[in-house]
Structures are given as C-alpha cells and as structure tokens.
Structure 1
C-alpha cells in the first residue's frame, strides 16, 4: 500500500511519461504491418482480473491562485469529518458535504497563502508537534495515527494540511489583526460593572458554527445550515462539524466560545441562548454576515458558587469479571460490592474493598466535579467526604466505585478579572476582523473550478 501523496506523485510521473510517449508516436513514421499490435502477447479475450483496482486519476477540482485542490484532497478531508463523527456519512449527504469541504479547502489555501505573503512561516516541526499531540489524545503514536487515517480513507497528509492552515491563520491574525485591535479601560470597566449588576444570573458554555452568507447566496447557506443542524441532531459531532465548516476563528477549537454571558453575545444569539438549557442545539440563527448554529454545553450562575465546581480527591476501586460472565451470574458479586461501598468507612477503606474483591485502586486528585459524566455529577453532588458512589460500569469493561477523599468548594466570588474581560473583548473584535479579512482574500483570489 502506498500513501495518497505517493500516489499523486506516481500519477504525475505517469502522466508526463504518457505525454512524451504520445509526442514520440505522433512524430514517428506510420507503419501498417497488417497485424494486431497485441498478437505477440497472446492475451485472453475474456480475462479474469485479480488484485485491487488502481487508484483513480487524481483530478483537480479547483486551482486557487495557482495551487491545485484535487478530488483526493476533498475525499480525504470528508473522511476526516466521518472519523470525527464516528459514523459513515450518508450517501445523500456526501455530495453536499463535498461542496462545503471544497469551500473550506479553498479558504484554507487562501489563509496559508496570505501567511506566506506576510512572511509567516509554519515549519514541519510546528506541524509535527501538533500531530504528536493529536495522536497522544487518542493514545497513538504519529505512525499509528497515519495508519489509522489511511485505513479509513483519509491520510496524515490531510490532517497535516489542516493543522498548517490553522497555525498559519492564527499567526496571521496575531500579526495583521490583533495589533490593530484596541480595547479601552472604560470598556472593560463597563463589562465588569454589568456583571456585578447581574450577579446570580445565568452564564453559558457555548459552541458556535458560523456560516458566512451574502444576499446572493443566503438561501443556499441557510439550506446548508439546516442540513448541518439535522446531522447534529442525529448524533453528529459538534466539534467535528465546527472544525470543518465554521467560518469563525473559533473553528480551530471546535467552535468553543467558552463561558459567556448573554449580554456579551450579539442580540440574536443572546435571545436564543437565554431560552436554551445544557445539551440543547439551536436552529440556524440569522446574524450579521451569515447564520450561526449555537450549542449550549453547560450553564452556571454569575458570581455565585456552583457546587459542580468543587474539586475532588478520589479513589477508584474497580473489579473485573471473567469474559462471558452474564448478568445473573454477576448479581451476587455486585450486591456484595454495593453493600461494601455503602459501608466503606472512609477513604482508607478503599484498599480493603479492593483486597476483598481482588480489585484495583487508583487515586486521582484535582478532579473537577463538573468534568465527570452527568450521571456521576448528580450522584456525587450531595455526597460527603468518606462516602462512595453506587457501583457503575459494565461487566465487559469493569465495575467500579468512587470514594471521595477530599472536596474543595468554589469561592462564591468568581468575578472575571479585568485581564480576562480584556482578552474576551479583544477576541471578539479579532474574530470579526478575521471574517472580513478572509472575505477580502476570497474576493481578490483567482479561483479556477474544474
């Protein structure tokens, strides 16, 4: 098996060789020998073909200021989206998504080209470090990640290109946009004053997918946004779709806007967010310059202590069952394990339970209650130090309990600092200017669709 990059190189060499051969044949004198040119090969008339098909010829789908984007580039990036979603993309959606992926690749090319024109360099070492982090996040080495991507129709080349685009665009924004954005002390003070006046009201952890639109293509962009929303409601990854399709600068972090107060958002988004709860997704919302899809990931109250912000010290006791154990067979052990958890007798009892059940103990400090799965959050909110959860897990992957060894509650005064407010206001203005900058790059580009 060979990589997509190698296949592209081989196709280019083959094309060159074929062109030379054609020219040589055209210049040669005509000879009519009266015999079939393949007769010496003694070929069968109805051959049986073995092996795998030769990869199709890579065709250009667009040329952006002289830089070629191939159908292979599109297919491999589409495969990345399928990997992010953890599911195959339906055939009826594939063609629509190919169009959107091509637009993203065009924008990516423009961003990389603009960075190069500004003498901003993204080195292989920069990309290698990010690839290593991506691989580490899925418990793989970069070589294993490359094989994984290849086995699913994508390639390490595709993800490296995406990383290059994100780094280049981020550095270009810092060099060209952030230096021109100013936020005054009075503006920061005004935000802090509003927050103080809003003590006890809700703030939200929000994700956004922004799709730019003009009066000419507004209907088409809205239709695309509605299809993305439908895919997300069917279980699609918001982070995956945001990274691939969002045209906001937050695309690189999966559309995450962080913790925001409604008054910090545009009016249309603010009104929608106030009506939403954790885990809810909006319909496409018309905003200045396009449409936004909003996801509320969590909520909390401004300047008010939230018990879910408690930081825990935990001991986990896990027990395993032989492969093939059925639920009826495990019931007796599970009942004894549950009873032992109720009578754990403090954090020090975890080791005794593990010894009694031939289990394992893992200690973990600085665990945020908010970061635990929702079901465990609800179970552990009223629990005190020294208590253990009910058993949870599965017979296949192990059943476990968590014992609370320590609990540090949040300080009620969680007001953001002036520096934090300054950073958020700056980011919002950089985001707006970045959209305009990319719009100008598109307007000035020479793009040839094939």
Structure 2
C-alpha cells in the first residue's frame, strides 16, 4: 500500500478544520457510488461478515411507549468503556470552532448526537485494535500531536494547548482522537490491506480509459450522503435542508461531511476526488453538471437516501489547466482620504487606472506609481487559481505589461495588478501505473473498512446513561 487514504492521520480525520490546516488531500476515488458496493464486494481473503435478513415492518406502525430512539444523553458505555459528557463537549467544540460558532441551538443538538456516535465508533476502533494486540504508545501520540502544533502554530505546542482550552476543547481530547486514528490505521494495515488485490490488467484498463477520456471534464466533488428508509425519507430530507442552510451561511463542508455523511468518504471530509460525471448516479450527475466551483446543491434524492454535493473544482482530463500558471505580478494601490464620496472615489479610480495603462511595462510601473503617490508590491510566485474568481479570469486574459481593471473600495482604496511574467503549466500526463494502482487499492481498502466498522457496531454492547 503506497499512500492509502486511510493512512492520512488525523489532520483531515482529526477534525482540524477548526485549526485551519486546510488539509484536503485525499486519494483519488476511481469508482464512485454506494460505499457498500463495488470492489469491496469482491472475495479477497477474509472479510467482515455481511449476512443480510429481511426486516418486516407493517404499514400501520403503533408505538408502545414514549421512548424516542433519537434522544441520547451525553454519556455512553461501549463494551464497558465510558464516554463522558465532557468527552462529547470537548470534541463538539472543535466542530463549532470550525464553523465560527455560527450554529443554531437545534443544529448544535444534532451535532452533539453525531459527535457521540463518532466517539462510539472511535471507541470501537481502539477496542478492536487492542483485541488484535495492537498498542499505540503515548510517545507516538505525542509525536503526532507535536506535528499538528508545528503545522498550525509554528512549532508552538503551548499555543495550540491554549487555543484548544480557549475554544472549550483540550489536548487530551485531541490526543484521544489521534490514538483512535492510529489504532484504526494500523488495524486496517494488518487485517484488511493484505487481502486487497488489484490486478495489473485492471490498472492497464483504467489507464486506457483515462487516455480515452483525455480532454473531457473531470469534477472534484464533495458529498454528504444521508441514508434514508422509505419511512424516514421526509425527516432525512428536512435534516439535509438544514445542513445545506448551515453550509450556505458559512459552515465548513469538510466538518459537516465528517459528522453527518454516511459514506466511506466521511473520513476525508466527503472528498470524492477527481471523477467524471458518468461515474456518478444519474441524479447526482445531473445536479452537479451545472455547478461552478464553490457552489453546492441538495439534498438530491438518490437510491437509498439523499446527497448534498459540493463542487470543489473542475478540470479537463490530462490537459494543461491555465489556472495552474505561475504569475509574476505587481500590485499598485492608492488609498482614499477620509470622507471621500463614492463619486469622488469613482473618478479617482478611473484616473488611476488610465495612468497605470499608460505605464510601459513592469520596468516603468514603479516610476509611474511614485508620481501618483501609490504603493507597489511585487510577487513572482502567484498561482492563477489562488486569485479570486473575477480577477483570475481577467488576469489570465492579460498580456505581459497589461493591467487589470481597478478593484477595491472606499475603505480599502483602489488597486490594479500588472502582469510581469507567466509560466504556463505543462499538460498533465496522468497518474503513473504505480500511482493508479495505489489509488485503486485505497478505494477498496476504504470500502472494506466501512464494512468492518459496520460489523463492530452491530456486535457492540452499548448502554446510554
């Protein structure tokens, strides 16, 4: 196994959107669809049991008693191990921080229930690892924790400790999650990975399919999948609408996918990787086709439930993407005096833009800026895709020495960008044979892991206090 998605310790899976890691890396998903189907269904060595029976539910259901199965107190006993209310609160604090605490009380209650379910899964994973004589020592956990501090707080572990305390979490809570991730990773490596096989012929066939698809569009999608029985369809749909509302108000898609999605991709924030729409169920393909990067749609009804789909990015298969060009830019800006009216600002912005257009290339722009009392900032390592959408399109159409339209505000002043150089990207030759094999192996391991965890849940003894 070369770079399995299930091995990406924590920092996606640790809920560290709250820490701003921005870790969105994930193994490329080769086959999309229901997590319970596909390659994981193959007979490849010992696999978790999957016996299925018919559950008969009458049409006219009468409930005897008032017990609500959706009401859970904050504590639970999982095969004898305790999950406390403090455990739930401290883990929930990470999610709330990832969403800038812009969560309604009702949504917070739902998140609390999901956190409890996640802690139950985490406990089952740690227990299964111990039962398999897999031990994660404290030094390894501390080392991973220190790496998180290095990535987020410039090696200042004390700063991360203080941050966690400030948001209502704790180092102990994060370290427990690290232990769970390490335990599950090691367990899968021993009990699942050795029995996953991808034949050379399968990889060659996939490479041929990729070459045949050269120039077609690929989409990088995030998905939150919500399973729904026919009886619960309306309730699940309403829950999906509430999640969409929270996301549109600025909620973190990665955090919500990790907490709510019931697909195997939940561990990587719902990231499906780069796929073609033909790989998706028809309902999702139709919904995703009209999206622009940054937009989402849903809940979309699909067989078995609903999906919320977020378009992270799109590209053409094995073609150079102009947005990957590295640009050398000079930003020239002027500020407006206090009390400047909108009319005066518009006039001055026009005069400023005209003066900048008259500058003869980047060699002369500093002199022109000095005459105007403007400030100049140069940067020769800016990727076009990192610019805001409207500016990105404008700059990519510019020639060397040309300037962008003026942009800004009365408060921030007005500025223009001058293009001083551009290194265009080379065409993507696609993944190598080994990379593609690793991606296909990752996909199958992740599907098998989902089945493994499902069996652990089914056999667990859980008491709610």
Q: Specify the TM-score bucket, using the shorter chain as the normaliser.
A: 0.7 to 0.9
| CA distance 1:60–1:107, shift in 2 (3 Å) | same
Find the partner of 2:242 among 227, 236, 242.
227
Is the aligned partner of 1:92 residue 2:106?
A: yes
Q: Which residue of 2 aligns with 1:364?
A: 380
Residues 325 and 69 of structure 1: CA distance in aligned 2, closer, same or farther (over 3 Å)? farther
Higher relative contact order structure (alpha carbons within 8 Å, sequence separation ≥ 6): 2
Q: Alignment partner for residue 128 of structure 1, among 137, 141, 146? A: 146
**CA drift at 1:242:** 1.9
- Match runs of 1:171-210 below 5 Å: 171-210=186-225
When residues 162 and 362 of structure 1 are mapped into structure 2, their CA distance, relative to the original with a 3 A threshold, is farther
* RMSD of aligned Cα (Å): 3.4
Match in the other structure for 1:113: 127
Give the CA deviation at 1:241.
Answer: 1.0
**1:423: Cα distance to partner?**
2.8
Determine if the alignment matches structure 1 residue 66 to structure 2 residue 80.
yes
Residue number among 81, 96, 107 corresponding to 2:95 in the alignment: 81
Task: Give the alignment partner of residue 434 of structure 1, picking from 434, 440, 449.
Answer: 449
Distance of 2:188 and 2:300 partners within structure 1: 26
Q: 1:143 to 1:247 in 2, by over 3 A?
A: farther
Which residue does 1:448 correspond to in 2? 463
The alpha-carbon distance between structure 1 residues 218 and 187, as it changes in their structure 2 partners (threshold 3 A), is farther
Q: Which residue of 1 aligns with 2:273?
A: 258
Aligned residue among 366, 374, 394 for 1:379: 394
**Aligned mates of 2:378, 2:310 — CA distance in 1:** 34
Question: Partner residue of 2:21?
Answer: none
More displaced stretch, 69-78 vs 381-390: 69-78
| Cα distance change of structure 1 residues 206 and 104 upon mapping to structure 2, 3 Å threshold | same
- CA contact under 8 A between 2:325 and 2:383: conserved in structure 1? yes
Distance 1:165 1:273, change over 3 A: farther
Q: Is the 8 A contact 1:74 1:102 kept in 2?
A: yes
Whether the 8 Å CA contact 2:149–2:156 is kept in 1: the answer is: no
Q: 8 Å contact 1:248–1:431 — kept in the other structure? A: no
Query: 1:152-167 counterparts in 2 under 5 A?
Result: 152-167=167-182
SS at match of 1:104: helix
Between stretches 83-92 and 99-108, larger displacement belongs to: 83-92
- Which residue is 2:65 aligned to? none
Name the SS for the 2:220 alignment partner.
Answer: strand
Contact kept? 2:328, 2:378, Cα under 8 Å: no
Moved more, 238-247 or 267-276: 267-276
Per the normalisation by structure 1, the TM-score is: 0.73
Would the alpha carbon gap of residues 330 and 286 (structure 1) be closer, same or farther in structure 2, given more than 3 Å must change?
Answer: closer
SS of equivalent to 1:283: strand
Quote the residue 1:5 is aligned against: none
What is the CA distance between 1:383 and its match in structure 2?
Answer: 0.9
Contact residue 350 and residue 361 of structure 1 kept, 8 A: no
> Aligned pair in 2 of structure 1 residues 349, 184: CA closer, same or farther (>3 Å)?
farther
Q: Is the 1:65–1:445 contact (alpha carbons within 8 Å) kept by the matching residues of 2?
A: yes
Tell me the alpha carbon deviations over residues 269-289 of structure 1, each in whole angstroms, 9 at most, x when there is no partner.
Answer: 455444544333232456687
* Partner SS, residue 112 of structure 1: helix
Partners of 1:130 and 1:163 within 8 A in 2: no
User: 1:433 Cα deviation (Å)?
Assistant: 0.8
Contact 2:78–2:460 (Cα < 8 Å) also in 1: yes
SS at match of 1:340: helix
More off after superposition, 187-196 vs 152-161: 152-161
CA positional deviation for 1:352: 3.0
**Counterpart contact for 1:206–1:257, Cα < 8 Å:** yes
Q: In the alignment, what sits opposite 1:236?
A: 251
Q: Quick one: structure 1 residues 70 and 171, their matched pair in 2 at CA, closer, same or farther if it must change by over 3 Å?
A: same
Higher Cα Rg: structure 1 or 2?
Answer: 1
1:315-394 correspondence runs (5 A): 315-320=330-335, 324=338, 326-328=340-342, 330=345, 333-356=348-371, 357-365=373-381, 367-394=382-409
Kept after mapping to 2: 8 A contact 1:166/1:252:
no
Structure 1 residue 99, shift from structure 2 partner = 1.2
CA distance in 1, matches of 2:310, 2:163: 30
CA, structure 1 residues 404+117, in 2 after alignment: closer, same or farther (shift >3 Å)? farther
1:432 CA displacement: 0.7
- Cα offsets for 1:13-46 (capped at 9, x unmatched): xxxxxxxxxxxxxxxxxxxxxxxxxxxxxxxxxx
User: Could you tell me how far apart the structure 2 residues matched to 1:349 and 1:72 are?
Assistant: 62
| 2-structure distance, mates of 1:174, 1:277 | 38
